[in-house]
Amino acid sequence: MPSLTSVLTVLSLGLFSLPTLADQTETFRFTAIPDEDESRLVERFSRVADYLSETLEVEVEYVPVKSYGAAVTAFRNDQVQLAWFGGLSGVQARRLVPGSQALAQGVEDAAFESYFIAHSSTGLEAADQLPEEIEGKTFTFGAKTSTSGRLMPEHYLRERFDAAPEELFSRVGFSGDHSRTIALVEAGTYELGAVNFKVWDAALENGDVDTDKVSVIWSTPSYPDYQWTLRGDADEAFGEGFTDRVRQALLEMEDPELLESFPRSGFIPADNSMYAPIETVAESLGLLR
């Protein structure tokens, strides 16, 4: 069973080489999109690796990655067999590896939301729809392929204003992750931003947000988002019935400390068809090849 120390020895994608394909039959590896600070994710997901190792009775390692794209690439190349993806990255990965399956989603992921946040200097307050006053201001998304930090916020911006973000705002940026988006808007580097509602709520609960400087002005309609996706050849690599065992292990993850890694209140069954709306929006915005 891997300890935190052993997990930390798994080298990050994009900086060092990953295990070769020949190593994959001995160790079951998973990753997660880097939607928060990497050191925090390594600490949290090391505990998930321990849980999966004990439950599945195989060696399990968490492999940290530097970007959403790196997570998809690792999955495509069989450097990881399981991934905690966002809605869009999951669609991308399953397109690249036919037969791959969405196994489970967080209870909250069936009806996920994005928050639009604003610096206090804008004078904007919470409203039932995006106010016209956001036009001409500066705006940051999260990662370029983030479902909650870019895909769905851009979709609702275009729906509301019939304009691309570059036409709507005076400056558009991509922070890279949700925590960074909050920090940039709070600092006034950008006047507005789009953020995953779970990351915002967790930051608020932990006292990491100065609500005198930044606040939520609008919440999107709900959409499906994060999910666990497993490669379609997992049974071939790890034995018949392995896919069902992984699904069951995920659905039975109940330890509050483990669930805080996501953060989610629990997991429920998922399948690929649930993410058809994400695929449709991504195709309309030209984000799928």
Express each pLDDT in 50-89 by its tens digit. 999 999 999 999 999 999 999 999 999 999 999 999 999 9
Q: Check whether residue 233 and residue 100 sit in a common domain.
A: yes
CATH number of domain containing 150: 3.40.190.10
Same domain for 232 and 90, yes or no, is: yes
Q: Are 162 and 82 in a shared domain?
A: no
Do residues 201 and 249 share a domain? no
In the chain, % helix, strand, coil (3-state, to 5) comes to 45, 20, 35
Instruction: Kindly state whether residue 279 falls inside one of the protein's structural domains.
Output: yes
Regarding whether 102 and 80 lie in a shared domain, the answer is yes
Residue 289 lies in a domain: no
Rounded to whole angstroms, the Cα distance separating 141 from 172 reads 8
Query: For the segment 225-284, what is each residue's pLDDT rounded down to a tens digit?
Result: 999 999 999 999 999 999 999 999 999 999 999 998 888 999 999 999 999 999 999 998
- Pair (72, 121) in one structural domain: no
- pLDDT over threshold 60, residue 9: no
Domain count, the chain: 2
Q: Are residues 210 and 231 in the same domain?
A: no
Give percent of the chain with pLDDT exceeding 90: 83
Determine the average pLDDT of the residues in 174-185. 95
**181: which residues sit within 8 A by CB, 6+ positions away?**
117, 140, 141, 142, 149, 175, 193, 194, 195
Residue 4 clears pLDDT 60, i.e. is over it: no
Same domain, 99 and 163: no
Closest CA to 227 of 33, 27, 12, 63: 33
| Domain span at 12 | 4-109+224-284
DSSP string, 24-90: TTTEEEEEE---S-HHHHHHHHHHHHHHHHHHHTSEEEE---SSHHHHHHHHHTTS-SEEEE-HHHH
Separation between Cα atoms, residue 249 and residue 82, nearest integer Å: 13
> Are 199 and 141 within one domain?
yes
Would you say residue 72 lies in a domain? yes
pTM of the model: 0.80
Residue 162 has pLDDT above 70, yes or no: yes
User: 3-state class of 216 per DSSP?
Assistant: strand
Q: Is 78 exposed, middle or buried (0-12, 13-18, 19+ CB in 10 A)?
A: middle
Euclidean distance between CA atoms 83 and 274, whole angstroms: 17
Crossing angle of the two packed helices 87-96 and 68-76, in degrees rounded to 10: 30
Q: What is the pLDDT of residue 12?
A: 43
